[in-house]
Chain A
């Protein structure tokens, strides 16, 4: 192995290729790290702004130590955050196409969740240059470049016969050739990662998982390259390179995209903006309905306030928030179907990952980076829980028509991320 490494590292073209890989890995980590730093900075800034906003609201809306709970529900925005994990920088995944800071009011939740750009077109088009992207797409190309001509290059240099006469164990010889190349490929990915983990004192367990994924994935491609370039009549390097490039296109581009199309077709998903639109239509429609049409089903759900004084005025906040919430209730089945479809897609992708190494890597790295579909759904759950908490905190002041004191204001629920 030592001699094989010497043989490799004495070649200028190999050194250039490995340095390029080291640079790209370093850059992918830097890019991911910068993105996460940006997200964290935005979240911190939003937290500071929220404190100021809430102080400002209190100064402008409090009258003699009380506030209007209805006004508060309408005008006061509460931040919810999708904070990155420690290792999120390795696979940004959904993190750049879903909001990491969102402002929620007491209005219907479904109208707010999907109100905005659901996809950042630039990121959707280009993808993100992070460690996961580089590993999935570039590592195989590096393996192909280093291992497509294992036997053919020796044949071309008229050295194969001589080498075969020297080999005590041909399998050991070729095995060493493949392993030394695999080791170098893996190291160009692992070394910058280890350096970053050491300098930033990142936790050990995810690091081990990432190292294992990197080692296994690059080993898979090394074995594949060896199988092609060491087969009995593998003496044409160009043919080997073309064959391996075709396999790369199939495994990295065609099959994952075809699978994605199949998943989209098999598990159709209602667009979030459709849900937001429908919510808005329900809300708008509610203005024209008799108030009882909204309040009766609302009180059926929240019987503790069924004895709330009847709404006799043209407008009352409790009626307003009741129809906002009832629009959410009416959309529950659609929201649940959407989440179920997302879960089904996720499970199907899990099955697919057993057969497609590219999907397996992406999925596992996104799991470590907390930027996968389960994390997205968990974030939705956290927002829903916070919104429910906020509603149930303010409802007594609205439906029992109690005065909302500044003390109550200070105890308003805060989103915990």
Chain B
């Protein structure tokens, strides 16, 4: 099966420091991959590289999204992708529907799903659809962002710290949404510090250390603070 996201030999230097070093990653449709890593390990840089927001001169290697090289056809490649940043990027003075409509207008999106259907799938209560997003909780805003990804009919979903700042119930709801996306055949790449959630929804866990991704095997029941510390220090 062709990988939805294929990264080969990706290297990136920034301010004289090697951030990514011949990094390889393949992510298939219907697969959730979580990338863990300490602060400054290069997780956000990896996302920026996939989003083609890095200075190309400092970057080598190749990135393909749905078989399309981003270096050659950025817009075509990114049309298959939806990115959900750590801070939900909604406009507070617009409603959920208006936000999604606006975001859809920005990209060259030929076909999109019905917004109401997507909001229902994302679990946003119908009575809040037309209210300004400034009245939403962070969890609700995240749902709007996921509804946008659904509306865009993205094949690949990039999530940057999706559970940051969410209470346990909202975290649980979001985790379920990620699983639903996976079941719909989407490929999901999650960058997170929330190890427990990552274990809950991921097919694979990868640790970004020294600019490379290393697979890690974790068992939810065996996790302790010490084991996490060792994991982040690269001793696992």
Please give, as numbers and ranges, the residues of chain A lying within 8 Å of B86 by CB-CB distance. Answer: 158
The answer to whether A163 touches B102, judged by C-beta atoms less than 8 angstroms apart, is: no
Rounded to whole Å, the gap between the CB of B224 and the closest CB of chain A is 33
Please measure, in the bound complex, the distance between the C-alpha atom of A285 and the C-alpha atom of B91, giving whole angstroms. Answer: 82
B103 at the interface (CB under 8 A from A): yes
B75 at the interface (CB under 8 A from A): yes
Most buried by B among A2, A12, A161, A162: A162
Residues 68-86 (chain B) with a chain A CB within 8 angstroms: 75, 78, 81, 83-86
Rounded to whole Å, the gap between the CB of B106 and the closest CB of chain A is 4
B1 at the interface (CB under 8 A from A): no
* Of A165-173, A289-297, A344-352, the one touching chain B: A165-173
The answer to whether B98 touches A10, judged by C-beta atoms less than 8 angstroms apart, is: yes
Q: Count residues of chain A with CB under 8 A from any CB of chain B.
A: 19
Please measure, in the bound complex, the distance between the C-alpha atom of A182 and the C-alpha atom of B84, giving whole angstroms. Answer: 31
Cβ 8 A contact of B53, one of A158, A159, A165: A165
Please give, as numbers and ranges, the residues of chain B lying within 8 Å of A173 by CB-CB distance. Answer: 106
The answer to whether B101 touches A3, judged by C-beta atoms less than 8 angstroms apart, is: yes
Closest to A154 in B: B89
Please give, as numbers and ranges, the residues of chain A lying within 8 Å of B107 by CB-CB distance. Answer: 166-168
Closest to B160 in A: A161
Cβ 8 A contact of B106, one of A6, A158, A163: A163
Please give, as numbers and ranges, the residues of chain B lying within 8 Å of A7 by CB-CB distance. Answer: 91, 94, 102
CB-defined interface of A153-194 with B at 8 Å, one 1/0 digit per residue? Answer: 000011101111111100001000000000000000000000
Please measure, in the bound complex, the distance between the C-alpha atom of A168 and the C-alpha atom of B94, giving whole angstroms. Answer: 22
Please measure, in the bound complex, the distance between the C-alpha atom of A398 and the C-alpha atom of B108, giving whole angstroms. Answer: 89
Q: Given A166-B107, A167-B106, does the pair A158, B85 have CB atoms closer than 8 Å? A: yes
Inter-chain CB contacts under 8 Å: number: 54
Q: Given A166-B106, A167-B107, does the pair A161, B93 have CB atoms closer than 8 Å? A: no
Q: Count residues of chain B with CB under 8 A from any CB of chain A.
A: 23
Please measure, in the bound complex, the distance between the C-alpha atom of A165 and the C-alpha atom of B77, giving whole angstroms. Answer: 11
The answer to whether B89 touches A162, judged by C-beta atoms less than 8 angstroms apart, is: yes
Cβ 8 A contact of B102, one of A3, A157, A165: A3
Please measure, in the bound complex, the distance between the C-alpha atom of A163 and the C-alpha atom of B98, giving whole angstroms. Answer: 15
Rounded to whole Å, the gap between the CB of A75 and the closest CB of chain B is 73
9 interchain residue pairs of minimum CB distance: A162-B89, A158-B87, A159-B89, A3-B105, A168-B108, A166-B106, A165-B51, A165-B83, A168-B75
Binding site for A on B (CB under 8 A): 48, 51, 53, 75, 78, 81, 83-87, 89, 91, 93-94, 98, 101-103, 105-108
Q: A161-B51, A162-B83 are in contact. List 13 more A-B contacts (CB 8 A).
A: A6-B98, A7-B94, A157-B87, A158-B87, A158-B89, A159-B89, A161-B53, A162-B84, A163-B89, A165-B51, A165-B53, A165-B78, A166-B106
Q: Can you list 30 A-B pairs, Cβ within 8 angstroms, ordered by A?
A: A3-B106, A6-B94, A6-B98, A6-B102, A7-B94, A7-B102, A10-B93, A10-B98, A11-B93, A12-B93, A158-B85, A158-B87, A159-B85, A159-B89, A161-B53, A161-B85, A162-B83, A162-B85, A163-B89, A163-B106, A164-B53, A165-B51, A165-B78, A165-B81, A165-B83, A166-B107, A167-B106, A167-B107, A168-B106, A168-B108
Binding site for B on A (CB under 8 A): 2-3, 6-7, 10-12, 157-159, 161-168, 173
